[in-house]
Amino acid sequence: MHWQEIAGWFQWRSAQEEAVHSFPQGSCFVEVGAYLGRSLCSLGEVVEQSSKTFAVVGIDTCRGSGPEGPCQKDYHGAAVTQGGGTFAGALHRNILDCGYGDLITLIISDSVTASRLFRDKSVDWVHLDARHDYAGLTADIQAWLPKVKKGGWISGDDYDEIKWPEVVKAVRDLLPEAKAWSTWQWRWIIE
């Protein structure tokens, strides 16, 4: 299987390529919000092609986000139902089928709970693509910001004022110096 065959939402391949180019061997990348593994398996491919060794961690509750955004659409509901309340099996299967079972570490957990497993200043890049509501993204930024090293990146998906206004508001309120990045992404480089 190739990551492009996995259903999902992923538009920051150039950001992944920049990350493997910018960070040294041994760096730790965390992706929060994996769904069925589309972006995570692309990261696996980019890491593999870089010939550098990185720790790659994917985190997801595997229970979906529920209704969200201005349309209050439940984007993950069908996969949750199909898996009997969790799509963890489908996600792990996709990672294995793409050949990244040893490269990617999967944590089935709520984002904030999982962040407590990481020491402060231990992560080089955390990418947030879990909750898209103001309170949820605020909690994720507050939980993960202390985990990122100086010079590391905190970033996220759906930096789009029309489709995801609460994402834009949370980023502007908490990280006013964050910039638009890649395709509909935001990023702040920790000073």
Ligand X SMILES: C[S@@+](CC[C@H](N)C(=O)[O-])C[C@H]1O[C@@H](n2cnc3c(N)ncnc32)[C@H](O)[C@@H]1O
Query: Biggest alpha carbon distance in the chain?
Result: 44
Q: Minimum distance between the CB of residue 190 and ligand X, rounded to whole angstroms?
A: 22
By C-alpha distance, which of 89, 95, 30 is closest to 58? 30
Beta carbon nearer to ligand X, 63 or 149? 63
- Number of neighbouring beta carbons within 10 Å of residue 142: 12
For residue 106, the Cα-to-chain-centroid distance in whole angstroms is 12
Beta carbon nearer to ligand X, 6 or 178? 6
Beta carbon nearer to ligand X, 9 or 14? 9
CA distance 116 to 39: 23
Which residues of this chain interact with ligand X, rule CB under 6 A?
Answer: 8-10, 32-35, 38-39, 59-65, 76, 110-111, 129-131
Q: Minimum distance between the CB of residue 109 and ligand X, rounded to whole angstroms?
A: 7
Q: Minimum distance between the CB of residue 149 and ligand X, rounded to whole angstroms?
A: 22
- Number of neighbouring beta carbons within 10 Å of residue 134: 15
Within 8 A by CB and 6+ apart from 98, the residues are 1, 2, 3, 6, 37, 41, 44, 45
Q: Minimum distance between the CB of residue 150 and ligand X, rounded to whole angstroms?
A: 26
Beta carbon nearer to ligand X, 131 or 147? 131
CA distance 5 to 1: 7
SS3 25: coil
Q: Minimum distance between the CB of residue 63 and ligand X, rounded to whole angstroms?
A: 6
Beta carbon nearer to ligand X, 45 or 110? 110
